[in-house]
Amino acid sequence: MSQLEVKNISKAFGGVKAIDNFSFAVGQHDIVGIIGPNGAGKTTAFNLLTGVYPLDSGQVLLNGTDISKLPQHEIARAGMARTFQNIRLFRGLSVLENVMTAADPYSPYNLLDVLFYSSRKRHNEEAARKQGSEYLKIVGLEGYENERPESLPYGLQRKLEIARALATNPKVLLLDEPAAGLNPSEVREFIELVKRLHKQFDFSIIIIEHRLEVIMELSSQIFVLNFGKLLASGTPSEVVGNKAVTEAYLGEEDESCLI
Amino acid sequence: MTIQQLINGISLGSVYALIAVGFALIFNILKFSNFSHGGLMSVTAYIGYIAAIVLMNYIDSLPLFMATLVAAALGGGLLALVVERVAFRRLRSNNSPVIYYFISSITMGILLENILTIFASSNFYSYPPFLPAAVINFGKFTIAIPDLLMLFFSTSSLGILLFVLHKTKIGLAIRTMSFDINTAKLMGMDPNAVVAATFFASGVLGGISGVFLGINYTLYPQLGQMIVKGFVASVIGGLGSITGALIGAVLLGVLEIFLIGSVGAGWAPVFVFIIMLVFLLLRPRGIAGVVVQEKA
Amino acid sequence: MEYILSTLTFTGISLIGVLGVYLVTGLTGLFSFGQAAFLAIGAYVSAVLVKNFAVSLPLAAIIAMLTGLLAGLVVGVPTVRLRRDYISLVTFGFGEAIIATLNNSTNITGGATGLSGVPQYTNFWVVLVTVIICLAIVIGYKHSKYGRQCLALRSDELAAKAMGINVERLKLITFLIASVMTSFAGVLYVFYTSYVEPGAFGWVVSAEWTIIVFVGGINSLTGAVAASILLTGLPEMLRFASEWRIIIYCVIVLLIINFRPTGIFGENELSLRRIKQFIRKGAKAA
């Protein structure tokens, strides 16, 4: 059974069909990429998968369970974690707290523990702190625990978003243009990070990206969106060789620039 | 609901419409609820009063009424410009989050109201009678002349405003900025000038509203708390829409007259609250409002 | 001395209300214009029970708080789903509805002329203990998963939901805690002043509390406490007439907006670590 099965999802805004009958599947512990020209509907697809917009039609199955009609936070708890194209970190919380907060919905103490300052709360908070620091270490943000997220340089903010998503214990991790705005060495660092995460954890990853080297190196499968429709799919080499894809997306570039 | 109640309701609604549109103008362009509008209305009501008292010796009846309106309208416009400069300009240049505009507007409103309280509270003032307290009868229905005049002037002012918004350059600028202030800036529009113009327009409407409220309810510093009616009307009509505010205001006027007739003026606020709550649960975007979907 | 104690008592009661607003507005970002209504509920329910029905004070207080909780549910459940602007309107309407109800129920509440002859049970020490307990609750809440999630949803509701945070439930829980706290403050209030009338609980009071939180620094609990003591206590002690006090509030707020928008304390909190740092710096300079 695929980890994530997306069946014929559609979404229209006003008269414009942003996503038209889009289907794809992600296997267990797989990394796939979604590419397409600007405005093709990639982020809209993510928004549909995570429940930001309700589906007009279609289904989303996570490990066989239909999550299409659930509210956003329950979809997240079911195991769909994401990062955002325009970074959306929590201001007013420290770097560590940003990560801790993502794990908070699962924290086992309750209001009474808070009111009476119970030891259960104290222990759980300690554990949450430790766990949060672990995630920060994994993405390479060790030492930044008490900083304000706004004060971090751009590349580190992107890492924080990933750490935060990790803390939700996902089954599928959705990365929306995670390499946007990174310089070449940061991109290389990012690719290595994803490889490490893939080895260390069990979840599948879906990446939306414009930077082809990221997609090519990491994904086992690529889905190409154009005008909200699935244009092509296949392995990286298949997609790159696909004439229609080249025309729609890579068209302007000289083919010798690829790979 | 009798026809007479309907007529009274529409008349009341027209006053609310002025308030609601003055409020909605600012909401559209700066995306926040301008609670200082209430304080502005109170102040302009008093400005109108002073003008009326002074001019009373020279003119009377309809010309006096119109002169009062003009004085209050101009006063309102100018006061709005001052308010914008003092309370909101710095927030715009600092790109402050919406919360701050909110606080600033409430504070400004309270400030204006309390300044009035200090200088004018001990006495109840009321406008000199401009117009005969006569009524016009048509068939079984009556409408008081003051109400009729207010209905006329409200409709005309709103008509002029809609004309300006849709047929003039500055109106176009205001509407454009209401869509997206940043893109408008990139297109070369001067946000300060356009925002100032919007506030001026809002202040003019506020001034006229102030006088009408003063006529209907006599003058007291808390008069401006009627701004809530404007807010409620905007919400019912749909935040973000001028026509929505208009429709919402008239509906609110009619609803209130009906409620006062059935449950009495004391319980009316309770029922308005309940109805509004139900309405918001069933149709949160209002009658004509735009659904703003947050993008991720 | 008597006068100073009285001022401190009022300041304490007001501070409890401000703490409620801190929870709802500072932590969670909701603007409630009806907080003072809970003060009214607490005051009237307990006063009427004690005076007209000879209920014992502790029982009356508990019933008053439960009533506040119930009212909080009635307003809160629909409100937490609404857009930010609407929340202020609905809570305002709620406040006005409560006042209208109190005004109209002349038989029970004495209507607009108010309820008098309430025995005086509150004294400074009771208020002080309550303030300390409320502070403990708020500090505990802030430094827990609840506080963090509230700050998260205040900062970015969409991202909060995407991280699995049940935004509506958190808003409601926070709102209810504030309701109960403020209701109890109402109980303290009525049994101190021995007299209440509906007009004292209007939206202006809620707005004042919000302004105090803002002046102190919307992100800072210490700021809220400091500002509350300063803005409530000081004018009382210096005997300003109440209209001028409000004008001074407003001018201060407008100044802060323009020149120090994050409030007096900004993001800073008083904490043991900070105090030690401060002392160390001072020792080095000396």
Q: B80 by DSSP, 3-state: which?
A: helix
Amino acid at position B250, single letter: V
Q: Which sign does the torsion angle of CA A28, A31, A32, A38 carry? A: positive
Find chain C residues with C-beta within 8 A of B118's C-beta: 243-244, 247
Instruction: Identify the domain containing residue C120 by its residue range.
Output: 2-202
**Taking CB atoms and an 8 Å cutoff, what residues of chain C touch A97?**
148, 151
Q: How many CB atoms lie within 10 A of CB A227?
A: 16
* Residues in chain B within 8 Å Cβ distance of C262: none
Summarize the confidence of residues C102-117 as an average pLDDT: 76
Give the residue-averaged pLDDT of C193-207.
84
In this structure, the strands spanning A80-82 and A204-208 are unpaired
B239/B98 Cα distance (integer angstroms): 15
ipTM of the complex: 0.90
Residue A71 has a pLDDT of 94
Determine whether the interchain pair B273/C97 forms a contact, defined as Cβ–Cβ distance below 8 Å: yes
CA C204 to chain centre: 13
- C266 shares contact with chain B (CB less than 8 Å): no
Q: Do B293 and A85 touch (CB under 8 A)?
A: no
Tell me how far CA of residue A204 lies from CA of A45, A102, A173, in angstroms.
17, 19, 6
**From the CA of B107, how many Å to the nearest CA of chain C?**
5
**CB atoms C148 and A121 under 8 Å:** no
Q: Which residues of B touch C254 (CB under 8 A)?
A: 86-87, 104, 107-108, 111
Strands A80-82 and A172-176: parallel
Which range is least confidently modeled, B207-211, C197-201, C251-255, C257-261? C257-261
Chain A contact present for C141, CB below 8 A: yes
pLDDT of residue A259: 54
Q: What percent of chain C has pLDDT over 70?
A: 89
Nearest to B269 among C97, C214, C244 (CB): C97
Q: Is A101 on the interface with C (CB under 8 A)?
A: yes
Specify the residue for token string 């005309």.
B156
pLDDT at B291: 58
Is pLDDT of B15 > 80? yes
Q: What is the pLDDT of residue A131?
A: 95
- CB of B12 closer than 8 Å to CB of B223: no
- At B294 the pLDDT is 59
Six-digit token string for B227: 């701004």
- Tokens for C145, please give them: 């998963």
Cβ pairs A/C, distance under 8 A: 95
Region C172-187: what's the mean pLDDT? 95
Classify residue A253 as exposed, middle or buried by CB count within 10 Å of its CB (0-12, 13-18, 19+). exposed
3-state SS class at B160:
helix
Q: Which two tokens stand for residue C51?
A: 């005076």
* Chain A residue with minimum CA distance to C166: A73
Asked if the Cβ–Cβ distance from A128 to C151 is below 8 Å, we say no
Signed CA dihedral, B272, B275, B281, B286: sign only: negative
Nearest to A157 by CA among A226, A84, A211: A84
Q: Which residue in chain A has the smallest CA separation from C164?
A: A73
The pair of three-digit structure tokens given for residue C102, joined into one six-digit string: 């109190």
Does C216 map to a domain? Answer: no
Residue B251 amino acid letter: L
Is a pLDDT exceeding 90 seen at residue B187? no
User: Residue B123 contacts by C-beta under 8 Å, 6 or more apart in sequence?
Assistant: none
For the whole model, what pTM was predicted? Answer: 0.86
> Mean pLDDT across the stretch B65-78?
91
Contact between chains at C140 and A111 (C-beta distance less than 8 A):
no
Q: What is the pLDDT of residue A90?
A: 94
Judge whether C118 lies within some domain: yes
Structure token digits, residue A151:
């004060």
Asked whether the beta carbons of A28 and A52 are under 8 A apart, the reply is: no
Q: What is the pLDDT of residue A170?
A: 95
Q: Average per-residue pLDDT in chain B?
A: 83
Who has greater pLDDT, B265 or C286? Answer: B265
Number of domains composing chain C: 1
Contact residues for C262 (Cβ-Cβ < 8 A; gap 6+)? C217, C218, C219
* Side chain identity, residue B223: L
Instruction: Measure the CA–CA gap between B162 and B180, rounded to whole angstroms.
Output: 20
Residues C166 and C81: their CA atoms lie apart, in Å, by 11
Determine the straight-line distance between the first and last CA of chain B, rounded to whole angstroms: 47
Interface A:B, Cβ pairs < 8 A: 15
**Closest residue in chain B to residue C209, using alpha carbons only:** B103
3-state helix, strand and coil shares in percent for chain B, rounded to the nearest 5: 75, 5, 20
Contact between chains at B108 and C254 (C-beta distance less than 8 A)? yes
- Using pLDDT thresholds of 50, 70 and 90, give the confidence band for residue C84: confident
Q: Does residue B282 have a pLDDT over 80?
A: no
Test B100 with C261 for CB contact under 8 angstroms: yes
Report DSSP state, residue A2: -
Strands A57-62 and A4-13: antiparallel
Q: What number is the average pLDDT over the span B45-52? A: 89
> Is A133 touching B (CB cutoff 8 A)?
no
Whether pLDDT at C161 is above 90: yes
CA distance A96 to C143: 13
Contact B107 C162 (CB under 8 A): no
DSSP A128-184: HHHHHHHHHHHHT-TT-TTS-GGGS-HHHHHHHHHHHHHTT--SEEEEESTTTT--H
- Residue B140 neighbours by CB distance under 10 Å: 8
Chains in contact with A, where contact means 3 or more Cβ–Cβ distances below 8 Å, are B, C
**Pick among C139, C145, C171, C180 to test the A interface (most A CBs inside 10 A):** C145
**How does residue C214 score in pLDDT terms, banded at 50, 70 and 90?**
confident
Is the Cα dihedral C227, C232, C234, C235 positive or negative? positive
Per the CB < 8 Å rule, is A125 touching C144?
Answer: yes
Q: Residues of A173-201 as b/e, b for ≥16 C-beta within 10 angstroms? A: bbbbbbbbebeeebbeebbebbeebbeeb
Neighboring chain A residues of C23 at a CB cutoff of 8 Å? none
Tell me what the mean pLDDT of segment B238-258 comes to: 85
Contacts of A176 in chain B (CB under 8 A): 296
Compare CB distances from C159 to A88, A109, A117 and report the shortest one's residue.
A88
What confidence tier does C195 reach under pLDDT thresholds 50, 70, 90?
Answer: confident
Question: What span, in angstroms and rounded, lies between the C-alpha atoms of A182 and A191?
Answer: 11
Look at A4-8, B91-95, B257-261 and tell me which has the smallest mean pLDDT: B91-95
Quick check: A240 and A210 in contact, CB under 8 A? no
Question: Which residues of chain A, if any, have pLDDT below 50?
Answer: none
- Neighbouring chains of C at 3+ CB pairs within 8 Å? A, B
Give the pLDDT confidence score for residue C235 in this predicted structure.
67
Rounded-to-integer distance, Cα C264 and Cα C228, Å: 12
- Choose from A133-142, C26-35, C185-194, C208-217 the range with maximum mean pLDDT: A133-142
B2, B8 contact by CB (below 8 A):
no
Lowest mean pLDDT among A188-197, C30-39, C128-137, C245-254: C245-254
Does the residue C16 lie in any domain? Answer: yes
Q: Which two tokens stand for residue B161?
A: 């405003």
C127 within domain boundaries: yes
Size of interface B-C (CB pairs under 8 A): 109
Whether the Cβ atoms of residue C128 and residue C12 lie closer than 8 Å to each other: yes
CB A45 within 8 A of CB A19: yes
Q: What is the mean pLDDT of residues B148-164?
A: 85
Interacting residues of C24 by C-beta distance below 8 A, sequence separation 6+: C30, C32, C35, C174, C175, C178
pLDDT given for residue C243 in this prediction? 64
Chain C residues whose CB is inside 8 A of the A72 CB are: 158, 161-162
Handedness of CA B256, B257, B259, B260 (dihedral sign): positive
Whole-number Å distance between alpha carbons of C41 and C36: 9
Place of tokens 């100073």: C4
Q: What is the helix, strand, coil percentage profile of chain A, to 5?
A: 40, 25, 35
Cβ–Cβ below 8 Å for A114 and C141: yes
Put simply, whether C280 touches B (Cβ < 8 Å) is no
H or E element that contains B135: strand B135-138
More confident residue, C247 or B250: B250
Supply the DSSP symbol for B286.
T
* Cα–Cα separations (whole angstroms), residue A134 to A127, A168, B8: 11, 13, 69
A125 touches C: beta carbon within 8 Å: yes
* Residue A51: C-alpha distances to residues A44, A78, A145, A152, C84 (Å): 10, 12, 30, 29, 21
Mark yes or no for CB contact B284/C83 under 8 Å: yes
CB contact under 8 A, C93 and B269: yes
Q: C13-38 burial string, b = 16+ CB within 10 Å, else e? A: bbbbbbbbbbbbbbbbbbbbbbbbbb
Could you tell me the pLDDT band of residue B269, with boundaries at 50, 70 and 90? confident
Sequence-separated contacts (24+) of C117-121 with Cβ below 8 Å: C117/C51, C117/C194, C117/C195, C118/C47, C118/C50, C118/C51, C118/C190, C118/C191, C118/C193, C118/C194, C118/C195, C118/C196, C119/C50, C119/C51, C119/C191, C119/C194, C120/C191, C120/C192, C120/C194, C121/C57, C121/C191
Q: Is residue C246 part of a domain?
A: no
User: In the beta sheet, which residues pair with residue A9?
Assistant: A22
In a domain, C230, yes or no: no
Residue B29 predicted with pLDDT over 90: no
